[in-house]
Amino acid sequence: MTEAHKGWVVIAGLGPGADRMVTSEVQEILAEATDVVGYIPYVERVTPRDGLTLHASDNRVEVDRATHALEMAAAGRRVVVVSSGDPGVFAMASAVFEALEAGSKAHPDWLDLEIRVLPGITAMLAAAAAIGAPLGHDFAAINLSDNLKPWELIEHRLRLVGEAGLAMAFYNPRSKSRPHQFERALEVLREACGPETLITFARDVTKPGQALKTVTLAEARPEMADMRTVVIVGNRDTRRVGPYVYTPRFAPGHQPGQAETAKDT
């Protein structure tokens, strides 16, 4: 990183849950940090030590949390903002840059701060690996929470993506405050993708209680998902082979050719 006296902000992904899924790069930066900022359950995953201050806060205060991180970095602190999974996938990286854009008008020196984003293994990819290869062809990732966008937009996107023939991965599928929305999502998916399309519910991925369940959209029920579940919907060509689920790499009717290889530039 930079000189010890100069503050910085790193937005780091802690992976889907298991300690072994945290990258060595993230572990190294946590060892350098003076402060860790994040949502309560994510900060609890960071081991306390002398010289490290943990700043845990509740959900839905992402921009406040990011602003606090920037303020501390401007004061010379070495700050790690933690997210689960990957910080750029429905997580804190966007919130930090949103806070930077808003705050730099009053604090133009913030634009000179060193800010880095360290990738992590997002739950979508961990779930797909546990299942087989359901995202082996084109796919879309969609957050089903309507906290930051209207449900009508979510439903519109579900229909268009399903009709386009893409596999899908869903974050935040069903909460206690909006249990009816996932039921509606399943109705839209049956219409757009067909009732025989495979859907997998991956709960507590990489954790001791990991549970995987694959059914058809016709068999899927809303109660199969909760906020600890990543849902993966295949396209019409997604299939089972033994205990695994995979999506072919090629489109129907298109003969697979030799894979492209990178060329020296």
Range of the domain at 29: 8-121
Strands 239-241 and 244-246: antiparallel
Is the same domain home to 76 and 58?
A: yes
- pLDDT band for 256, please (50, 70, 90 cuts): low
Mean pLDDT value across residues 159-180: 94
d(CA 88, CA 117): 8
Tell which of 121, 148, 164 closes a domain: 121
Q: Would you state the pLDDT for residue 259? A: 57
d(CA 64, CA 77): 17
Asked whether the predicted pLDDT for residue 261 surpasses 80, the reply is no
- From the list 181, 219, 227, 176, the residue with the least C-alpha distance to 200 is 219
* Mean pLDDT, all residues of the chain: 93
Mean pLDDT value across residues 140-147: 95
Asked whether the predicted pLDDT for residue 134 surpasses 60, the reply is yes
Q: Would you state the pLDDT for residue 59? A: 81
Q: What percent of the chain stands above pLDDT 90?
A: 88
CATH code at 214? 3.30.950.10
Is the same domain home to 234 and 129?
A: yes
Asked whether the predicted pLDDT for residue 258 surpasses 80, the reply is no
Q: Is residue 71 part of a domain?
A: yes
Contact 198, 245 (CB under 8 A): yes
Q: Would you state the pLDDT for residue 2? A: 44
Is the same domain home to 128 and 239?
A: yes
Q: What is the pLDDT of residues 178-232, one digit of tens each?
A: 888 999 999 999 999 999 999 999 999 999 999 999 999 999 999 999 999 999 9
Is the same domain home to 194 and 157?
A: yes
- From the list 129, 133, 125, the residue with the least C-alpha distance to 241 is 133
Q: Is residue 163 part of a domain?
A: yes
Is the same domain home to 71 and 158?
A: no
Identify the three-state secondary structure at position 74. Answer: helix
Q: Hunting for tokens 């492209």 — which residue is that? A: 260
- pLDDT band for 77, please (50, 70, 90 cuts): very high
Cα 162 to Cα 131, 137, 171, 198, distances in angstroms: 20, 14, 16, 12
250 vs 258, higher pLDDT: 250
Instruction: Tell me which amino acid residue 261 is.
Output: T
Q: Would you state the pLDDT for residue 216? A: 98
Q: Would you state the pLDDT for residue 251? A: 83
User: 188: which 2 tokens?
Assistant: 């839209």
Asked whether the predicted pLDDT for residue 54 surpasses 80, the reply is yes
Q: Is residue 253 part of a domain?
A: no
State if pTM tops 0.85. Answer: yes
Asked whether the predicted pLDDT for residue 158 surpasses 60, the reply is yes
- From the list 67, 74, 56, 4, the residue with the least C-alpha distance to 32 is 4
